[in-house]
């Protein structure tokens, strides 16, 4: 079974996603194509990396993942392929690989070689990523696609930070789901590594926002049952710290995002004591 997944910021209003499917089918009609997400916010590498990296855990070995967010080629934005956790990832070097390999290095990392006859500047995901993905999905060797990438990866500028005294984590909201839940880039691993089982208070950026001092285990907590406007912190199924309210819905009651006045890029600080 050969699988190629697609994650892009193309949306569903034009031909782009259909063109990717067609280009793959033209090269290999029998491949399985899985659309992970095409509604990543435009150029938002952080949100896209969060979505793809956690979806990828559920796919079998040798799945090929195409990441078509902020993918334009340039001298400072080369196109790379990584073998990581027994799967392949194809993306521009736009911060995606820095997020993907933040804890563990890639097993292999190569820079895609661009054929001199290939036009790729306007639609590189179709014209460069897809042929590489099909080659890998058919069992082709990674090494024939290019040369080892020996340069430093592009750094993603919005990773969570820890204060010098180890008493504060500052994270950022990287995604808002359809329920209005605000997902941060603070992981369970980072929280426990820095927190060391200490008490804490978490502060939202909204003026006058109450501090939160507990990590809840579930969206529906008996302590706050019936109060759908109470904000809670919990680690979601991807082990990212999330700001939520009970029974939130972004398009009905507004969810945590609208009720708390939060948006992507807002910061959350956690102070340990």
Length of the chain: 273
Tokens found for residue 207:
């003026």
pLDDT at residue 225 is higher than 60: no
Give the pLDDT band of residue 263 (cuts 50, 70, 90). Answer: very high
Contact of 70 with 8, CB cutoff 8 Å? no
Q: If you average pLDDT over every residue of the chain, what do you get?
A: 91
What pLDDT shows up at residue 207? 62
Contact of 189 with 240, CB cutoff 8 Å? no
pLDDT at residue 250 is higher than 70: no
What pLDDT shows up at residue 76? 76
Residue-wise pLDDT tens digits, 58-100: 999 999 999 999 998 777 789 999 999 999 999 999 999 999 9
* 153-175: b (≥16 Cβ within 10 Å) or e: bbebebebeeeeeeeebebbbbb
Where along the chain do the CATH 2.40.30.90 domains lie? 161-272
What pLDDT shows up at residue 229? 62
CA distance 230 to 244: 8
Give the pLDDT band of residue 222 (cuts 50, 70, 90). Answer: low
CA distance 215 to 203: 13
pLDDT > 90 in the chain, percent: 75
The dihedral sign for the CA sequence 225, 234, 264, 82: negative
Residue 91 CB burial class (10 angstroms; 0-12, 13-18, ≥19): buried
What pLDDT shows up at residue 249? 67
What pLDDT shows up at residue 41? 95
pLDDT at residue 251 is higher than 70: no
Distance of CA 217 to the CA centre of its chain: 23
Residue-wise pLDDT tens digits, 53-64: 999 999 999 999
β strands within the chain, DSSP E: 3-8, 32-37, 64-68, 79-84, 87-92, 108-112, 146-148, 161-162, 168-176, 182-187, 200-203, 215-216, 231-235, 240-245, 267-272
Looking only at the bridges linking them, the beta strands covering 79-84 and 108-112 are antiparallel
What mean pLDDT comes out for the span 11-27?
A: 96
Distances (CA, A) of 24 to 11, 66, 89, 216, 268: 18, 11, 16, 44, 41
pLDDT at residue 15 is higher than 80: yes
- Give the CATH number of domain 3-148; options: 3.90.79.10, 3.40.50.10790, 3.30.420.590, 2.30.40.10: 3.40.50.10790
pLDDT at residue 264 is higher than 90: yes
Where along the chain do the CATH 3.40.50.10790 domains lie? 3-148
Give the pLDDT band of residue 223 (cuts 50, 70, 90). Answer: low
Residue 38 CB burial class (10 angstroms; 0-12, 13-18, ≥19): middle
Backbone Cα Rg of the chain: 20
pTM of the prediction? 0.91
Residue-wise pLDDT tens digits, 101-123: 988 999 999 999 877 555 667 89
Distance of CA 159 to the CA centre of its chain: 12
Fold of the 161-272 domain: Elongation Factor Tu (Ef-tu); domain 3 (2.40.30)
What pLDDT shows up at residue 219? 83
Give the pLDDT band of residue 227 (cuts 50, 70, 90). Answer: low
What pLDDT shows up at residue 218? 86
């Amino acid at each position: 079974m050969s699988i190629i997944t697609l994650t892009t910021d193309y949306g569903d209003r034009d031909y782009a996603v259909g063109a990717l499917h067609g280009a793959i089918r033209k090269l290999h009609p029998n491949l399985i194509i899985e659309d992970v997400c095409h509604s990543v916010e435009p150029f938002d590498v952080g949100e896209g990396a969060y979505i793809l990296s956690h979806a990828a855990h559920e796919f079998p070995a040798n799945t090929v993942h195409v990441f078509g967010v902020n993918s334009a080629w340039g001298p400072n934005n080369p196109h790379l392929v990584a073998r990581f956790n027994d799967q392949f990832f194809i993306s521009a070097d736009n911060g995606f690989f820095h997020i993907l390999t933040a804890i563990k290095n890639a097993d292999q990392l190569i820079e895609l070689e661009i054929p001199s006859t290939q036009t790729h500047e306007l639609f590189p995901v179709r014209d460069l990523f897809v042929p590489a993905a099909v080659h890998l999905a058919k069992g082709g060797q990674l090494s024939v696609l290019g040369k080892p990438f020996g340069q430093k990866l592009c750094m993603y500028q919005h990773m969570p930070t820890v204060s010098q005294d180890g008493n504060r984590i500052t994270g950022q909201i990287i995604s808002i789901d359809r329920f209005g839940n605000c997902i941060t880039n603070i992981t369970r691993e980072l929280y426990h590594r820095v927190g060391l089982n200490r008490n804490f208070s978490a502060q939202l950026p909204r003026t006058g926002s109450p501090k939160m001092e507990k990590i809840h285990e579930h969206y529906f907590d008996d302590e706050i049952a019936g109060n759908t406007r109470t904000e809670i912190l919990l680690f979601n199924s991807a082990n990212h710290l999330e700001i939520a309210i009970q029974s939130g819905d972004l398009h009905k009651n507004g969810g945590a995002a609208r009720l708390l006045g939060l948006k992507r890029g807002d910061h959350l600080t956690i102070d340990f004591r």
